[in-house]
Amino acid sequence: MPVAKPESSDSRVIAHVDMDCFYVQVEQRKQPQLRGLPTAVVQYNEWKGGALIAVSYEARKFGVKRSMRGAEAKEVCPQIQLVQVPVARGKADLNGYRSAGSEVVSILSRRGRCERASIDEVYLDLTDAAETMLAENPPQSLEKIDEEALKSHILGLNNEDGSDIKENVRNWINRHSADHRDKLLACGILIVAELRMQVLKETEFTCSAGIAHNKMLAKLASGMNKPSQQTVVPSSSVNGLLNTLPIRKMKQLGGKLGISLQTDMGVNTVGDLLQFPEEKLQERYGVNTGTWLWNIARGISGEAVEGRLLPKSHGSGKTFTGPRALKTVPAVQHWLNQLCEELSERLCSDLDQNKRMAHTLTLHARAYKSSDSDSQKKFPSKSCPLRYGTAKIQEDAFNLFQAGLREYIGFYGVKTQGNHYSGWGITSLSVSASKIVPIPSGTCSIAKYFHGQSTSHFSSMQPLDNVNGEAMLLLPPGVHSGSECYSEVNSPKAEVDFPKEESWTEDTVPELDLQEQKDLSSSLSKTQDGFTQDISPSLLSACLEQSQNKQESDITKDEGQFKSEYNKERKGKRVKDKGTPSILELFKSYNPYPFGSSFSQELKKTAEGTDARLTIGLESKGHSLAEQSEVGKEKPMHCSSSGYGRDEGDGRREAWSYSIDEIDPSVIDELPPEIQDEIKAWVHPHKWRPNNTVRRGCKISHYFSPTKKS
C-alpha cells in the first residue's frame, strides 16, 4: 500500500520553544529573592524533603537532579532552596503553572500558527512571517542584528578556534549566496530571538528554542543548548545530526522497535537506517512504520503545526501507593469527590473564558485484588456523557467507578458497599473531561442547553456496565452528536489508564459584540427578576443566537427549569451569600461530605501521607557532563506496584528508578509529550506504538554531549 511521503524539500520554518526549568521559574517570579540561587520545586509530601520535580540550572551545576528527594539534594547542594508545589484538595495544584504557560503562549502566538504541546512547550509555524520578512525586510537590509540572534547556535557552522562566533553567525544570517531555505531560517532566527526577548520582557521567563524545517528537527534542537539559547538546524546539517544519534535515543525507538532495529537489523544510529531501502523496512516492520523509519533517517517529518492554544481535555487524578491504597467504597468516593470538584472548576473556567464545553466524562483507575487469581486484569476505564455541575459530575463519576469495580472484581465476587475492606485496593484514580467543543451557536440558548443536561443519564442507563455503549444516545440536545465525536472514547481500543496526552485546541469562538451581550443580559434581567442579573456576559455572549427574538423566547421558556436547577444546587451547597450569583455558581454545587467524622480523620491522615509526586525515567535537558554520562547508562526502570514500601524500606531512593504507582495522573497530561510517552510505555510496555504517524521528537541532551555543541 503506498504511503504519502512528506516533501523532503521542506521550506517551512518551524520553531520549538521550551521553557527553562519551568516550575522553578514560576516560583522564582513569585519569590524574586530566589532568583539566581540553586532552587528546586518539590512535591508536597515532606518525606525526605519531598521529591524534586523541577531543578534550576544553578542547582544542576551542583549535581542536583530531578528524581532526587529534597534531603538528597541538600546533601549535594546544602544551600539549595526547596519550594513546595502548591497544594489544593490534598493534591498538587498546577493552576499557577498552567496560567504561566498561557501567558507565554499568548506572546509566542503573535507571529504565526502556534501549537501548545504541553504545559511549557510550544511549536510555532513561522513560515509566513519569515517569507514576509525575506520579501520586505531581509536580514541584509537591517542596520543591526540583535545580540540574542547572534548568540544562536547554528549546527554545522564552522567555529574554528579563535574565530569570532557571533561574527560567524552574523555572516551566516547575511549570506547572499544562501539558498531560499537557509534564508528563511535566517529570518526564523531573528523572529524567534525577538519572541524570546518579548517573553522575557513580559513574563520574566527565559526559554530555549530550536529552529528547523520541521517539528521533529526543531524539537531535537531546542534542548541542545539550554537555558535561554536557540539552536538552528540548516538542512545541510541534518545528516550530521542524525548520523550519530543513537537509535534508542529517538523518542519512539526507545522500546521494542528500537531493540529490534539494533538486534535484528544491526542499526545503532538513526543514520544507520539510511542503508535500507524503504521496501525492506516496510517488509520487516509494516508499511507505515517502514515508511516512517525511512523518513526519520532523512530528517523528514510531515507533521503540521496545529493551531491549538487550549487543552483538548481536562483531567484530575491522584495516586495512592502502597499502604495508602483505597480499600473501601466510601474512601474512593471521598477522593472522587475531590477530583471531580477540581475538574468541575476547570470546566467552569473553560466555559467562562473560552466558551467551550466538554461532552464526555471518563473514569480511569488502577487497582489490585488481594486474592488475585487474575493479576493481569485491568480496572476498566468507563465513560459517559458529561453533565455540568459538581454534584452531577461526582455522581456520574462514582457510578462509573462502581460499574468499573463490578466488572473488575466480578459481579458476585466481592461486596462493594460499606466501609469494610473488600479484598481490593485502588492505587490510582482519575477523572477526565474530553470532547471539548465551542458552545454551539445558532442552535439553542444556553438555558436550553442546560435544560437538556439536567436529567440524570444514569436513571435511563441500566445496567451501568454498558455506559460506554449508551453514551451516544444520551447527548444533550443542541450538542453536536455525530457518532465520530464519541467513537474514540467509546471504542474498546480507547482503553487508557491516564487522561490522554495533553492536547490543546484552538479557541474558535469569535469575539462577541459588547452591545449584544448587554442587550441579552438586560432582556434576561427583565424576565428573571434578579436571578439572571449576574449571568456572566461573556458566557452568555457565546450563546447568542442569530435571531434575538428566538433567544428571548428560548430563555424565557427554560427559565423555570434553569432556576429550579439552580435553587436545588444552592440548597445542597448551603450557600450563605444571598447576593445574585453568577451563572457559574450553578455548576459548582457541592455534594455534602457523605461520611462520618472518624472516617474523615482517617482520610485526613491518608491525604497528608499521600505522595502524589511524579518521577520520570530520564532526565531531560541541559545536564552537566557528569549527568549526561549517567543518563548514558540508562539504568533500568522499575515498574513496581509497591514503590512506596521499597522507598521507605530501603531508606533511600535510587536515582533513576521509578514506580508506576507513584505517578500522579493529574500531572501527567501536562507534561512534555515525550515524558508522557515514557509513562505510557511503562504502563503498557507491550503496546509500543507502530508509528504510522511521525510523533514528536525526543530530548536531544540524552545523546548530545557538550562537545558536540556547535
Is 622 an interacting residue with respect to ligand DCP (CB under 6 A)? Answer: yes
Residue 497 or 674: the one with the smaller Cβ distance to ligand DCP is 674
How many other β-carbons are positioned within 10 Å of the β-carbon of residue 164?
11
Residue 603 or 614: the one with the smaller Cβ distance to ligand DCP is 614
Is 120 an interacting residue with respect to ligand DCP (CB under 6 A)? Answer: yes
Closest-CA residue to 82 (of 18, 19, 31, 20): 31
Is 27 an interacting residue with respect to ligand DCP (CB under 6 A)? Answer: no
Name the one residue in this structure whose C-alpha cell is 530528517: 299
| Helix 180-203 and helix 95-108, axial crossing angle in degrees, nearest 10 | 140
SS3 619: coil
- Least distance (Å) between residue 580 CB and ligand DCP: 40
Report CA-CA distances (Å) from 524 to 389, 579, 582: 22, 17, 13
- Written as one string, the DSSP assignment of 169-215 is HHHHHH-SS--HHHHHHHHHHHHHHHHHHHHHHHH---EEEEEESSH
Residue 545 or 664: the one with the smaller Cβ distance to ligand DCP is 664
Report CA-CA distances (Å) from 403 to 358, 383, 408, 593: 22, 10, 9, 22
Q: Which amino acid is at 511?
A: E
Burial of 561 (0-12, 13-18, 19+ CB in 10 A): middle
- The 191-230 site mask, x for binding ligand DCP (CB under 6 A), equals -----------------------------------xx---
Residue 430 or 453: the one with the smaller Cβ distance to ligand DCP is 430
- Least distance (Å) between residue 462 CB and ligand DCP: 41
- Least distance (Å) between residue 626 CB and ligand DCP: 16
# binding residues, ligand DCP (CB under 6 A): 23
- Least distance (Å) between residue 70 CB and ligand DCP: 14
Is 21 an interacting residue with respect to ligand DCP (CB under 6 A)? Answer: yes
SS3 368: strand
SS3 84: strand
Q: Is residue 82 within 8 Å of 73, Cβ to Cβ?
A: yes
- Least distance (Å) between residue 54 CB and ligand DCP: 3
Contact segment (CB under 6 A) with ligand DCP among 14-22, 329-337, 392-400, 539-547 equals 14-22
Closest-CA residue to 76 (of 651, 631, 702, 624): 624
Q: Considering only residues 334, 621, 680, 702, which one is a binding residue for ligand DCP as defined by CB under 6 A?
A: 621
Instruction: Provide, for the chain, the percentages of residues in helix, strand and coil under a 3-state DSSP scheme, each rounded to the nearest 5.
Output: 45, 15, 40
Q: Considering only residues 80, 124, 616, 660, which one is a binding residue for ligand DCP as defined by CB under 6 A?
A: 616
Strands 39-42 vs 113-118: parallel, antiparallel or unpaired: unpaired
Q: Is residue 112 within 8 Å of 12, Cβ to Cβ?
A: no
Contact segment (CB under 6 A) with ligand DCP among 13-21, 277-285, 350-358, 505-513 equals 13-21
Catalytic residue among 58, 121, 662, 678: 121
SS3 400: helix
Q: Considering only residues 40, 53, 233, 489, which one is a binding residue for ligand DCP as defined by CB under 6 A?
A: 53
121 assigned to active site: yes
- Least distance (Å) between residue 617 CB and ligand DCP: 9
- The overall longest dimension of the chain from CA atoms, in Å, is 80
- Least distance (Å) between residue 226 CB and ligand DCP: 5
The whole-angstrom separation of Cα 700 and Cα 67 is 19
466 CB-near residues (< 8 Å, 6+ apart): none
If DSSP states are collapsed to H, E and C, what string results for 541-605? HHCCCCCHHHHHHHHHHHHHHHHHHHHHHHHHHCCCCCCCCCHHHHHCCCCCCCCCHHHHHHHHH
Q: Considering only residues 19, 253, 270, 603, which one is a binding residue for ligand DCP as defined by CB under 6 A?
A: 19
Contact segment (CB under 6 A) with ligand DCP among 128-136, 322-330, 529-537, 613-621 equals 613-621
Is 14 an interacting residue with respect to ligand DCP (CB under 6 A)? Answer: no
- Least distance (Å) between residue 83 CB and ligand DCP: 12
Residue 83 or 667: the one with the smaller Cβ distance to ligand DCP is 667
426 CB-near residues (< 8 Å, 6+ apart): 320, 325, 326, 327, 332, 365, 366, 367, 379
Residue 404 or 622: the one with the smaller Cβ distance to ligand DCP is 622
Q: Considering only residues 614, 637, 679, 698, which one is a binding residue for ligand DCP as defined by CB under 6 A?
A: 614
- The 632-671 site mask, x for binding ligand DCP (CB under 6 A), equals -----------------------------------x---x
Binding to ligand DCP (CB under 6 A) within 673-702 occurs at 675
Is 23 an interacting residue with respect to ligand DCP (CB under 6 A)? Answer: yes
Q: Considering only residues 54, 149, 216, 520, which one is a binding residue for ligand DCP as defined by CB under 6 A?
A: 54
Binding site for ligand DCP (CB under 6 A): 18-23, 53-54, 66, 119-120, 226-227, 614-616, 620-622, 667, 671-672, 675
- Name the residues annotated as catalytic: 121
